[in-house]
Amino acid sequence: MQAAFDYYNLYVSDSPFKIKRVVATHYYIQILPQEKELVLLGSLDKSDLENIPVLHDFPLDYEVLQEGDYYVEPTSEDDLYHPIFTVIPVDYQLPQSLPYEVIDPVYYPEDEEEYDVETVALFFAGWEEDLRADEIELTKETLPRYLNESRQQQQAARLFGKRYTPKGRIRVENTNTNMPEDLMKVKVSTGRGIWWRYTYTDNSGNFTASKNIEAK
């Protein structure tokens, strides 16, 4: 992200980030459980506390080519426990007996004005597919113009960022009646990339994310 800010400052003359220095706000970690830690993980996953970490059984910095719900037979007793991946604020306190390793310190941009800097970071990280999904087509030659035009539009309209609030409705099919039914009061996770949060469905199966996320 610091490289993205430096690039933005280089090509956008009225950048508000000229003295920006990126400091980690979160840690991307892998939890390394053994049998005795599984209860702790279960308690953490079932917690209703606000901003509880969303646990994943796959690396969040990997692209999932094909999703599925399947069981992999362990090859030995040493193959019973696998890493769990999540992101926590730098001051977040996990249970002391839960072993984990920091994979990377990461930065969460709270400022809406930083959206285009995120675009720079995604572009140079090779995430063109995500950008195209948001109808952003860029090359190295067109990126500076895109940033300046976006900055001008923001200044004119005083609209910063393109964050959105994920929302939806979850229904399941009742196999007895073959009719869809609303899934009530169920915890769901919403997010993109490494940034995920929990929320709950209401009595009609509707949910709204607890916090806006990047439209990427």
For residues 165 and 201, give the distance between their C-alpha atoms in angstroms, rounded to a whole number. 15
For residue 150, the SS3 value is helix
**204 Cα distance to chain centroid:** 26
Q: Residue 70 has what pLDDT?
A: 66
Q: In this structure, are residues 94 and 100 in contact, taking their beta carbons and an 8 Å threshold?
A: yes
Residue 125 CB partners (closer than 8 Å, separation 6+): none
User: What SS3 class is residue 207?
Assistant: strand
Domain residue ranges in the chain: 2-22+108-157, 26-106, 167-208
Q: Can you tell me whether residue 200 is helix, strand or coil?
A: strand
* HEC profile of 116-177: HHHHHHHHHCCCHHHHHHCCCCCCCCCHHHHHHHHHHHHHHHCCCCCCECCEEECEEEECCC
Q: What does the pLDDT read at residue 134?
A: 74
The residue ranges of the chain whose pLDDT is under 70 are 50, 70-72, 74, 77-80, 157-165, 210-216
